[in-house]
Amino acid sequence: MTEHDESGKDRSEFVAVTPRGGEPATDEAVAAEPEDVAVTEPAAPPVDDPAEPSQSAESEPPAAPTAPEPATASIVAERPDVPSLDKTGADAPRTDPGVRLPEPERDADGGVEVSVRVAAEGMAAALSSAAPVPGLERDAEPTRSAGPLAIVTAVCVVLALAAAVLLAVTARTNSHHRAVAAARTAALDAAKRETAVALTYDYRSLDADFQRAEAGMSRKFRANYARTAASSVAPLATKTHAITTGTIAAGGVVSATPDTARILVFANQTVENKLLNATSRLDRSVIEVTMVKENGRWVIDNLQPF
Amino acid sequence: MRRGLAVLIAVVLVLVATGGFAVIGVRHASHQNSLNDERAQVALLAGRYAVDFTSVDYRHLQADFDAAAKNATADFSKKYLATVQAFATLYTKGQVVQTTSVDLAGVSSLTSTSAVVLVALKGVATNTKTKLGTQQLFRMQISLTKVGDRWLTNNVVPL
């Protein structure tokens, strides 16, 4: 049987007999050129162009139907100096499809001699050959076609993951920015409102006024304020009949986080009491108001007048 | 092959979508970071300008006025110089020296081109009558506008 490699070169001098469909090749094929016959896996797939079935060589019985040549034949075909033995027939040793070990060499008496050297040379020749490696080629073909696609897909996946990470980071950053912006507005409004309340009291309704002011303060500051109000403000206000009204001239944000803020407040406090010669007095003050978010509400955590 | 292409197309779509949102997010974050930088900058500048507007020394009045006016818009600079000239004689006669420093500044409002900043200043003033100096508290509202890449004062309101 003549074998053609991919380039169409006739390699009839090395005959590989390939049983079709697992059927043993004819004994004549083995007998014709025992040294040049390679053993192939019966189920080994064809590699050479199936459209061009191998032509029978002069040593090949014409009656023997030739299947498309298994690529395993190329192992020996690439190295004409390396004889190989094709043991065809039902008792031929089987190897895994696609992986074919060099076969034992027949000696002069027709026996089989295992030659490690020859096997190694044959394998090396096959691996270094430009010809397709049987079995491997079958596996490699879809890999070659999917290779670039897989690489592009992998690159895109990596890029998409990187973009997702970037998106997550920026989303978190933007969320923080939004929270701080909201804190600025809410804390500023609350600071103006609650500071004005804290600066407003009437000696005739001190308890209610203080309670109203404490409602806009944090738990921590509320205790301090209550202590000061009870010990200092209330006695003096009662004694002088003080009536004060606080208003806020302006306010600005010194700094803010989602849960805390420092607010600069320009407060005006109109004071009336019986000690004043005039009807009232306007006190202008500068107050740094520390605000905290407590239970979802912005409340005063400290008042620091300058 | 078709399956591989389908997977690739899906991945590319995901990439485009995530990448697009990421770009938008990065631009938004960058804008916010820029605004935060501006916020810190306008607070700092407003404090500096407020010191310039409130610090005078009768020995170099014009230089002090000019120093304050150079960081103001053309219109406000003109108004400011016209106003302070009226006090120049009084300052010189009374040998007024006033130095101020920023206690605290807070941003009342901010856009990419305008800002309103509150500045609290402490000042010490001396004159022929008070050689030891009297302490004063200033409450200034400085309005800034961005001209080119510079923030300039376009109004000062004592509160």
Asked whether residue A167 is assigned to any structural domain, the reply reads no
User: Could you give the number of structural domains in chain A?
Assistant: 2
A118 and A194 housed in the same domain = no
Chain B residues with CB under 8 Å of A149 CB are 1, 4-5, 8
Q: Could you say which of A134, A152, A172 is where a domain stops?
A: A134
> pLDDT for B36-54, tens place per residue?
889 999 999 999 999 999 9
Asked whether residue A2 is assigned to any structural domain, the reply reads yes
A212 and A287 housed in the same domain = yes
pLDDT bucket at B125, cuts 50 / 70 / 90: very high
A1 and A130 housed in the same domain = yes
In chain B, whose CA is at the least distance from the CA of A284?
Answer: B159
> pLDDT for B7-35, tens place per residue?
889 989 999 998 999 999 899 888 888 88
Question: Within an 8 Å CB–CB cutoff, is residue B21 touching chain A?
Answer: yes
Q: How crowded is residue B114: how many other Cβ atoms within 10 Å of its Cβ?
A: 14
What is the extent of the structural domain holding A268? 183-305
Q: Could you say which of A68, A100, A134 is where a domain stops?
A: A134
The strand ranges marked E within chain B are: 56-57, 97-110, 114-126, 134-147, 150-158
A1 and A123 housed in the same domain = yes
pLDDT at position A218 is 97
> pLDDT for A53-76, tens place per residue?
444 444 444 444 444 444 433 433
Please name the residues between 230 and 269 in chain A that touch chain B, using a CB distance below 8 Å: 249-254, 262-264, 266
* Contact (CB<8Å) A264/B120: yes
Beta bridge partners, A255, equal A262
A116 and A232 housed in the same domain = no
> pLDDT for A77-99, tens place per residue?
344 444 443 444 444 444 444 44
Specify the CATH class of B2-158 in words. Answer: alpha beta
A91 and A3 housed in the same domain = yes
> Which residues are CB-contacts of A93 (< 8 A; sequence separation ≥ 6)?
A39, A87, A103
- Please tell me whether residue A95 adopts helix, strand or coil conformation: coil
A132 φ/ψ angles, rounded to the nearest 5 degrees: -65, 140
For chain B, the structural domain boundaries read 2-158
In chain A, whose CA is at the least distance from the CA of B102?
Answer: A306
Largest CA distance in chain A: 141
Q: Model ipTM?
A: 0.90
Compute CA A60 distance to the chain's CA centroid, rounded to the nearest angstrom: 59
A4 and A83 housed in the same domain = yes
What's the rounded Cα separation, in Å, for the pair A257 and A178? 10
Look up the pTM and report it: 0.66
Whether pLDDT at A104 is above 50: no
What's the rounded Cα separation, in Å, for the pair A85 and A92? 11
A117 and A189 housed in the same domain = no
CATH code of the domain containing A195 = 3.10.450.230
What's the rounded Cα separation, in Å, for the pair B8 and B6? 5
A113 and A48 housed in the same domain = yes
Chain B residues with CB under 8 Å of A150 CB are 4
Q: Which of A159, A170, A288 sits opposite B25 (nearest CB)?
A: A170
> pLDDT for B28-40, tens place per residue?
888 888 888 899 9
Asked whether residue A33 is assigned to any structural domain, the reply reads yes
A97 and A187 housed in the same domain = no
Q: Could you say which of A105, A134, A163 is where a domain stops?
A: A134
> pLDDT for A217-241, tens place per residue?
999 999 999 999 999 999 999 999 9
- A139 CB-side CA count, 13 A: 8
